[in-house]
Copies of this chain bind each other. A is one copy, B any other.
């Protein structure tokens, strides 16, 4: 039984600001600088979801990419794309929407659905800009 990693790329465009509501504005400005701008800014986020599993000898698939893409679209893209990550995304409440926190939360949102396919969610990689990325392995 060959174990293979299967990776699906999806995208979403969102607004956010880095802001810790338990701090005053001066401290947010000091820690987060322009990323804390009160009128928001935004990104074209690029997401890479890696699923680990064995190849089904009948289909040659670890997982049908359409099923994986549909899962990511239902659980993540529809909730985050063209949204404000601080205000509108239920699973981002109570935390600063850094790339690190976004990646962890996306992992938590996707893991049950991936497990239900008989595979394992291995990694969520999130690209915030062409220079800044994060990876979370659960």
Smallest distance from the beta carbon of A67 to chain B beta carbons, Å? 12
CB pair B84–A41 under 8 Å, yes or no, is yes
User: In chain A, residues 28-76, which have Cβ atoms closer than 8 Å to a Cβ of chain B?
Assistant: 31-35, 37, 39-44, 50, 55, 57-62, 65-66, 69
Residues of B within 8 A of A13 (CB): 41-43, 129
CB contact under 8 A between A130 and B4, given known A41-B82, A42-B14, A60-B98: no
CB pair B4–A65 under 8 Å, yes or no, is no
**Chain A residues within 8 Å of B, Cβ to Cβ:** 2-11, 13-16, 18, 20, 22-23, 31-35, 37, 39-44, 50, 55, 57-62, 65-66, 69, 81-84, 87-88, 95-101, 103-104, 129-137
CB pair A5–B134 under 8 Å, yes or no, is yes
CB pair A60–B97 under 8 Å, yes or no, is yes
Residues of B within 8 A of A95 (CB): 57, 60
CB pair B42–A40 under 8 Å, yes or no, is yes
Name A20's closest neighbour in chain B (CB-CB).
B58
